[in-house]
Amino acid sequence: MLHLILFSVFGLVCVVGAVNLLLQKHPINSALSLVVVMGSLAVEYLLLGAEFVAAVQVIVYAGAIMVLFVFVIMLLNAGEEEHTEGSRVAWLLGIPGMLAVTVIVCWALLMHSDTRTVSLGALPGPPADIAQLLFHEFLLPFEVTSILVLIAIMGAVVLAARPESAPERKEG
Amino acid sequence: MIPLSCYLVLSAILFACGVTGFLIKRNIITIFMSIELMLNGVNLSFVAFAAQWHNLSGQVFVFFVMVVAAAEAAVGLAIIIALFRTRETLNIDQVNLLKL
């Protein structure tokens, strides 16, 4: 019962945040509602027993990535989005289409699912077990992602750096 | 006790919201946030299936998805900054050519 109430409340918060992201005109409002979505998703992970994923969700997604988004929105002084002919067509075609697809997918999931249930904290996954898995069976993918992150850092620095003819930079 | 399908439906709704935002939004930063929303929806179904089958590999995969999302956010936002420097706009209708 408690599980159902927590799931419903935070699932509702999650969906409302996601819809609010679509309805808001200003990017900063969209970013803040995305933080709400990620925070409530972390609670859903906790309900499933995935403590490690919940912690990483809060730290990496709601913390680091969203700070990056908010920083860029403020840096670029992004204003309200303008509407064009293309955006009206996208509204008219996109929203009914996605509503139809969502209803069909949800119907299929609810009709054809078996009666398996997930109990509160079903996943016996303490972080130690995940570390064991990560550093033994998934060691090679882990190292590959570390290289990926290194390349991404260098790429971000190169892309966001000012062009080399910047006046304030002089050879010393 | 909650059926697994409830988690999957929530994940599908989040993914659909992400796709809708990708289609209807005109601000490049908001489109980028919609992509993050789609990734979050997929992560939720990964964790739900991991709980269903009592297999921790799903959680490890979520970890990898998060790493890739972080790298993607860093590079993507750097590209947006570089784009804004040359075009002075964030509206994708005005950024439809690679060359100025």
Q: Using one digit for the tens of pLDDT, what is the confidence trace for A151-168?
A: 999 999 998 887 776 555
**For residues A114 and A69, which has the higher predicted lDDT (pLDDT)?**
A69
Is A69 in contact with B76 (CB distance < 8 Å)?
no
**Largest separation between any pair of C-alpha atoms in chain A:** 72
- Enumerate the residues of chain A whose CB falls inside 8 A of the CB of residue B62: 50, 53
- Asked if A46 and A108 sit in the same domain, the reply is no
Average pLDDT for A50-57 = 90
- Asked if A28 and A87 sit in the same domain, the reply is no
Quick one: tokens of A138?
């998934």
- Asked if A91 and A18 sit in the same domain, the reply is no
Question: Which parts of chain B are beta strand (E)?
Answer: 2-3
Single-letter code of the amino acid located at B100: L
Name the residue facing A21 among B9, B37, B74 (closest C-beta).
B37
- If one counts every other C-beta atom within 10 angstroms of the C-beta of residue B65, the result is 15
| The pLDDT of residue A115 | 58
| The pLDDT of residue A79 | 77
The last residue of a domain, from among A59, A81, A103? A81
How many Å lie between the alpha carbon of B22 and the closest alpha carbon of chain A? 9
Quick one: tokens of A70?
């908010």
pLDDT band, very low/low/confident/very high, at A147 (cuts 50, 70, 90) = very high
Does the pLDDT value for residue B99 go beyond 80?
Answer: no
A134 falls within a domain? yes
- Asked if A29 and A89 sit in the same domain, the reply is no
- Candidate ranges A141-150, A161-170, B20-29, B43-52; pick with highest mean pLDDT: A141-150
A170 falls within a domain? no
By residue range, what is the domain housing residue A25?
1-81
| The pLDDT of residue A172 | 46
| The pLDDT of residue A120 | 65
- Asked if A2 and A69 sit in the same domain, the reply is yes
Does the pLDDT value for residue A59 go beyond 90?
Answer: yes
Which whole-number Å values give the CA distances from B7 to A40, A117, A133, in the listed order?
Answer: 13, 10, 25
Distance between first and last Cα of chain A: 69
- Asked if A1 and A77 sit in the same domain, the reply is yes
Average pLDDT for A72-96 = 80
A169 falls within a domain? no
- Asked if A101 and A46 sit in the same domain, the reply is no
CB contact under 8 A, A106 and B90: no
How much is the ipTM here? 0.91
Work out the percent of chain A whose per-residue pLDDT is above 70.
85
Q: At what angle do helices A27-48 and A2-23 cross, to 10 degrees?
A: 160
Q: Mind listing the domains of chain B with CATH numbers?
A: 4-94 (1.10.287.3510)
- Asked if A106 and A43 sit in the same domain, the reply is no
Tell me how far apart the alpha carbons of residues B69 and A127 are, in angstroms, rounded to a whole number: 21
| The pLDDT of residue A125 | 67
pLDDT band, very low/low/confident/very high, at A42 (cuts 50, 70, 90) = very high
Tell me how far apart the alpha carbons of residues A124 and A152 are, in angstroms, rounded to a whole number: 33
CB contact under 8 A, B26 and A87: yes
A171 falls within a domain? no
pLDDT band, very low/low/confident/very high, at A70 (cuts 50, 70, 90) = very high
Question: How high is the mean pLDDT of chain A?
Answer: 85
User: Burial, A142: exposed, middle or buried (Cβ in 10 Å; 0-12, 13-18, 19+)?
Assistant: middle
pLDDT band, very low/low/confident/very high, at A124 (cuts 50, 70, 90) = low
For chain A, the domain total comes to 3
Average pLDDT for B77-91 = 88
Q: Please, which residues have CB within 8 angstroms of residue A153's CB and are 6 or more apart in sequence?
A: B74
- Asked if A73 and A39 sit in the same domain, the reply is yes
Q: Please report, for the domain that includes residue A11, its CATH number.
A: 1.20.120.1200
| The pLDDT of residue A151 | 94
- Asked if A5 and A57 sit in the same domain, the reply is yes
B3 strand-pairing partners: A117
- Asked if A5 and A77 sit in the same domain, the reply is yes
Does the pLDDT value for residue B55 go beyond 90?
Answer: no
How many Å lie between the alpha carbon of B26 and the closest alpha carbon of chain A? 6
pLDDT band, very low/low/confident/very high, at A149 (cuts 50, 70, 90) = very high
Tell me how far apart the alpha carbons of residues B68 and A131 are, in angstroms, rounded to a whole number: 18
- Asked if A68 and A3 sit in the same domain, the reply is yes
A51 falls within a domain? yes
Average pLDDT for A112-132 = 72
Local structure of A3: helix, strand or coil:
helix
